[in-house]
Amino acid sequence: MKKRAIVPILYIAFLMLPIYWLVAMSFKTTQEILGGFSLFPRVWTLASYRTIFTDPTWYWGYINSIVYVTVNTVISVTVALPAAYAFSRWRFLGDKQLFFWLLTNRMAPAAVFALPFFQLYSAVGLFDTHIAVALAHCLFNIPLAVWILEGFMGGVPKELDETAFVDGYSFPRFFVQVFLPTIKAGVGVAAFFCFMFSWVELLLAKTLTAVHAKPIAATMTKTASSAGYELGLLAAAGTLTIIPGAIVIWFVRNYIARGFALGRV
Amino acid sequence: MAKITLDRLRHSYTATPKGPADYALKQLNLDWQDGGAYALLGPSGCGKSTLLNIISGLLQPSEGRILFDGRDVTALPPDRRNIAQVFQFPVIYDTMTVFDNLAFPLRNRGVGEARVKARVEEIAAMLDVTEMLRTRAANLPADNKQKISMGRGLVRDDVNVIMFDEPLTVIDPHLKWKLRSKLKELHQRVKVTMIYVTHDQTEALTFADQVVVMQDGEVVQIGTPVDLFGRPAHTFVGHFIGSPGMNVLPAEVRDGAAWFNGMPVALEGAIAPGEGRHEIGVRPEFVSLAPAGIPATVRKVMDLGRHSVVEAVAGGTRVSAIVEGMAPGQGEAVHLAFRPDQTRLYRDGWIASERGRAA
Amino acid sequence: MRKVNQKGWFFVLPVLILVAFNALVPMMTVVNYSVQETFGNNQFFWHGLGWFQDILRSERFQAALGRQALFTLMILVIEVPLGVVIALSMPRAGIWVPVCLVTMALPLLIPWNVIGAMWNIFTLPDIGLLGYFMNHVLGLDYNMTQDPVAAWITVIVMDVWHWTSLVVLLCYAGLVSIPDAYYQAAKIDGASNWSVFRYIQLPKMKQVLTIAVLLRFMDSFNVYTEPFVLTGGGPGNATTLLSIDLVKIALGQFDLGPAAAMSLIYFAITLFVSWLFYTLMTRNDVK
C-alpha cells in the first residue's frame, strides 16, 4: 500500500466517526445514553426504530420528504432539459444574462426567502402541501440542473443534431430518441443533485409545512426540543435519513466527481 | 547519441501470460544504429506504442533487455536514459512562456542560465519559433505547440534518441507536410537517432531511412522504403504499403511451380522447399492486360487521372491492375499478365521464392 | 460557434416561469417591506431608506456580519487547501476509487439538521464520543454550550467535516481529466513532484477550484441549519451568523421592515462577491 494512501484513510476515518456515533446511539437505550459513556452499545435495542416504523407522525415524515423530493427532481430535470439545450446550442437575446441570473438564485440565502415564501405560498393556498416544497426547491435546483445539463450537453457535437435533422427527425423525436441517450449520464447527475439538495434542505421545507406535508427534518427538530431529548430516537431517525442518500450515491458513483464540476471537466 | 539494442524483448500486459496471444510484444531482437531515422509502422494494436514506451523507459518489459551503447538500461527510469518523447497531442506547460518551456528540461538538470539561454535560442532558431519565445505557450496553435514539444526534446545535448508517437495526429492536414519536412531537416542537422511511430505509410516512407513494419507484436520486415515497396518479405507488408496494396492470390505449388486458377504463373525465382499455405504476391503496378494470360472479368474501374485502377475477378479472386491509357469497361473479359520478376510466392505469409533465374 | 435562434426563449420559458415565481415575487415583497414601516393592522407607511440606514449602523448587524466574515474566511482557508491535498492523494484508478468517492460523498447527502443533531450528540461533554474524549481522556475543559471558543471550533470543524468533500470531489474531477502523457513528459523532463504540481496539476485544476471556492463562499456565507441546530447561535450570540440573526429577526420578532432591509443587504453582499468570482471563472471561457 502506497504511503500516500494514509491521507484518504485518515480523512475517511474522520468522516465515519460521527456517523458511527449516531448509528451506535440509535441502538442504545435512553438510560444507557444518559447514564454515562459507552463506546459500543452494552444493551442492543431496536426500540427507537420500532417507534419510528410504527408511529405515523414519524414514518409519515419520511414519506413526505421522499414525495416532495421526487416531485421536485422530476420537475427540475424536465424543465431544465429544453432550457439547457437552448443555452448550449443557440445564442439569443439576453442569454448570458439569463444564465447568470439563474446562478444568482443558487446564491440566495434561504433565510432571505423564509418569510416571503411563507406569505407567497399561503397566498396561493399551497401552504402545507408537498407541491409547495417541491416548487420552492425549484428556486435553486432548476439553476443547478440547467448548469449541469448544459455542461454535459457541451460535450455532444452539434453534428449529431444536424445529422438527425437531415435524416428527417422532427425535433421532439430527435430530442427523445437521439439526444437524451447521449447525455443520460448528465441526466442522472442532474437528478442526483436535485435529489440531494432537496433532501438536505430544512429551512424552507419547515417554513412551508405544518402538519400534512411535514418533512422528517421538521419532525426531528420537534423531538429534540419538546420530548426532552430522546436521544436514541433522534439518532435512529437521523440514521434512517442517511440511507436514501447512500443508495442514490451508489448509483451515480462514477459520475459524482464530474457532476460536482457541473459537467465542466 | 547511442546505438540501441533490443535483446530478447517480450512484453505482456497480464501478470501471468499463458500463450503467445497474451504477449503484446513477441520476441524482438533488434539493433538501431546510431543517428538513424527509423519509422515504426503498423496498424493500431500492433505493439508499436508498447515498444516505444519500453525504449523510453515509461514501461518495464516483462522479459528481455534494452541496451544503449552496450549498457543495460532496462532498469533505468526515463529521465536517466537521456531520451526525449513527443506525444500524439502537444504536451506543453500551459502557464509558462515558450522560452521557459524549452528551458525546463535544462533547468531541472541544473544547467547554468547562460548556457540555457544559448541553447534555447539555438533550438528556437532551428524550429522557427524565435519570435514566439516570450509568448505564453497556451496561446499557440497546435502545430507550433508540437514544435515546442519537439524542442524540449532537442534542447538537451546529451539526448540519445528522440521518439515520436504519432505526432501529427492533431495537426491540420495542410500543415502536416510542413512539420514532416521540418522533422527531416532537423534530423539532417542534429543527427540524433529518431524513432517515429505511425500507422500512416506516407509519413513513415517519407521520413525514415529504415522502416520497421510491425504486426501483432512482431517485426515483420525491416528495410528501406524502396525495399519494402519493391520486395515485401511478408504479405502484410505488401498489402499495407502502397496504394492500392499488393495483390495476394491463393496459389498451389505443383511440380516445383506455382499455379493460380489452374494456370501456371512465372515467379521471380526458385521456390524454397517447404510446406504451408501458399499465396502469390504481385503489385498492381506489375499486372497488365494482355492478349493472353489469366482470364478475368472486369468488375470495377477507378479513373485516377494519370492512370486507372482496374479491379478484375479471376475465378472468385479479386485482382487489381494499374492500367495507363484506355481502360476496359465494366464486365469486359480480359487476360491478366504478371511481370515474372515482380511476382513472388509466399508461404504462410512469409516470402518463399528466391530472387534469381526462374525455375 | 452557436447560431442565433430566438426560439431559444420558448425553451427557457418553463425554467424562467418557475424560477421567477420563486425569486421575483418574494423579492418584490421583500423590497416592498424594506421601504415601509408598519405599526400593525396592515397599515404601511413609506419609510424610504430608513431601515437600511438603521441596519447598516446597528451594532447587532455589524457584529453578525463580522462573525460571518470571519467564519467564511476560516472555512475557505481550511477547506480549500485541505480538499486539494486529499484530492491529490486519492487513487486515480482501481477498485478503491468508487469506495473513496462514495464514502467521501456521504456527508454531503445527510439532511442538514441531522448533521447539526449528529454533532450535537457527538460533542456532549460527558456522553458524546468527542465530548467524552476531550474532557475525560485529554483532560481538556470542553463544553460547547458554555464556552464560546469551544462553540466556534466545533461549528468550524463540523463545517469542515460536512463540506470539504465537495472540494475534494471537484478537485479530483479536474485531476483525473489530465492525460497520462503530461505526467510521462514531466518524468522525461526530469521534473520534481513540486514542479508537476505547480505546472501541470494546479493549472488544470484552476477551473474546478474556482467553482469550489465560489460554491463554498456562497454556501458558507449563507449557512443556517447546521450551526443553528448545533448551537442555536450560542452561547449567547457567539455563533450567531448572519442567517441565524436574520431568521431571528424575521420569523421571531416579525419586524418586517428591518428584516426585509437586512435580507436585501445580505443578498447584495453575496451577489457582489459571487459576481466577482463568476467573472474570474468565465473570463477565459471561449463559447
How far off is chain C from A220, nearest CA to CA, in Å?
8
Contact A260 C132 (CB under 8 A): no
Contact C181 B56 (CB under 8 A): no
Q: Does C199 touch chain B (CB under 8 A)?
A: yes
User: Which residues of chain C make contact with B108, given a CB cutoff of 8 A?
Assistant: 189-192, 195
Residue C180, C-beta contacts closer than 8 angstroms, at least 6 positions apart: none
**Overall average pLDDT of the A136-153 stretch:** 88
Class of domain B4-230: alpha beta
Q: Are A21 and C129 in contact (CB under 8 A)?
A: yes
Reported as a pLDDT band with limits 50, 70 and 90, residue C67 is very high
Reported as a pLDDT band with limits 50, 70 and 90, residue A137 is very high
Task: Kindly tell me if the per-residue pLDDT of A228 is higher than 60.
Answer: no
Task: Kindly tell me if the per-residue pLDDT of C58 is higher than 90.
Answer: no
**pLDDT confidence of residue A70:** 93
Q: Does C102 touch chain A (CB under 8 A)?
A: yes
**pLDDT confidence of residue C284:** 60
Please tell me which of the candidates C89, C102, C208 has its beta carbon nearest to residue A265: C208
Per-residue pLDDT reduced to its tens digit, B229-268: 888 888 888 888 888 888 888 988 888 888 888 888 888 8
Residue B358, C-beta contacts closer than 8 angstroms, at least 6 positions apart: B266, B267, B268, B269, B270, B340
Instruction: Tell me if residue C107 falls in helix, strand or coil.
Output: helix
Rounded to 5°, the CA angle B136-B138-B140 comes to: 85
Contact C2 A83 (CB under 8 A): no
Interface ipTM above 0.90: no
Contact B89 C199 (CB under 8 A): no
**pLDDT confidence of residue B132:** 86
Contact B88 C190 (CB under 8 A): no
Of all residues in chain B, the percent with pLDDT exceeding 70 is: 99
Positive or negative CA dihedral for C222, C226, C232, C237?
A: negative
Contact A15 C85 (CB under 8 A): no
**pLDDT confidence of residue C248:** 82
Q: Among the ranges A14-18, B13-17, C125-129, which has the highest mean pLDDT value? A: A14-18
Surface of C (46-65) touching A: CB under 8 A: none
Reported as a pLDDT band with limits 50, 70 and 90, residue A16 is very high
Q: Are A223 and A238 in contact (CB under 8 A)?
A: no
Rounded to the nearest 10 degrees, the angle between the axes of helix C148-176 and helix C112-123 is: 130
**Overall average pLDDT of the A120-135 stretch:** 89
DSSP string, B133-173: TTSBGGGS-HHHHHHHHHHHHHS-TT--EEEEESTTTTS-H
**pLDDT confidence of residue C286:** 44
Task: Kindly tell me if the per-residue pLDDT of A188 is higher than 70.
Answer: yes
Q: Which residue has the higher pLDDT, C80 or C60?
A: C80
Please tell me which of the candidates C182, C184, C189 has its beta carbon nearest to residue B104: C189
Which among C162, C221, C171 is positioned nearest to A260, based on CA atoms? C171
Domain B243-351 in CATH 3.30.70.260? The answer is no
**pLDDT confidence of residue B21:** 76
Which among A136, C184, C225, A126 is positioned nearest to B85, based on CA atoms? C184
Chain C CA closest to residue A119 = C26
The pTM of the full predicted model, rounded to 2 decimals, is: 0.79
**pLDDT confidence of residue B357:** 55
**pLDDT confidence of residue C281:** 66
**Overall average pLDDT of the A82-90 stretch:** 89
User: Which residues of chain B make contact with C199, given a CB cutoff of 8 A?
Assistant: 93, 95-96
Residue B125, C-beta contacts closer than 8 angstroms, at least 6 positions apart: none
Reported as a pLDDT band with limits 50, 70 and 90, residue B226 is confident
CA distance C166 to B350: 60
Residue C141, C-beta contacts closer than 8 angstroms, at least 6 positions apart: C135, C147
Chain C CA closest to residue A36 = C127
Reported as a pLDDT band with limits 50, 70 and 90, residue B200 is confident
Per-residue pLDDT reduced to its tens digit, A37-61: 888 888 888 888 888 888 888 888 8
**Domains of chain B: which residue ranges?**
4-230, 243-351
Surface of C (202-241) touching B: CB under 8 A: 203
Q: At B132, list the grid cell.
A: 514566439
Alpha helix (H) ranges present in chain C?
8-34, 50-57, 59-89, 96-105, 112-123, 129-132, 148-176, 180-188, 193-196, 202-221, 225-231, 242-247, 256-282
Task: Kindly tell me if the per-residue pLDDT of A225 is higher than 60.
Answer: no
Amino acid identity, position A195: F
Contact B58 C187 (CB under 8 A): yes
Surface of A (83-102) touching C: CB under 8 A: 83, 85-93, 95, 98, 100, 102
**pLDDT confidence of residue A11:** 94
**Overall average pLDDT of the B37-61 stretch:** 87
Rounded to 5°, the CA angle C43-C48-C49 comes to: 130
Reported as a pLDDT band with limits 50, 70 and 90, residue B10 is confident
CA distance B102 to B140: 14
Task: Kindly tell me if the per-residue pLDDT of B336 is higher than 50.
Answer: yes
How far off is chain C from B108, nearest CA to CA, in Å?
6
**pLDDT confidence of residue C42:** 66
Residue B44, C-beta contacts closer than 8 angstroms, at least 6 positions apart: B199
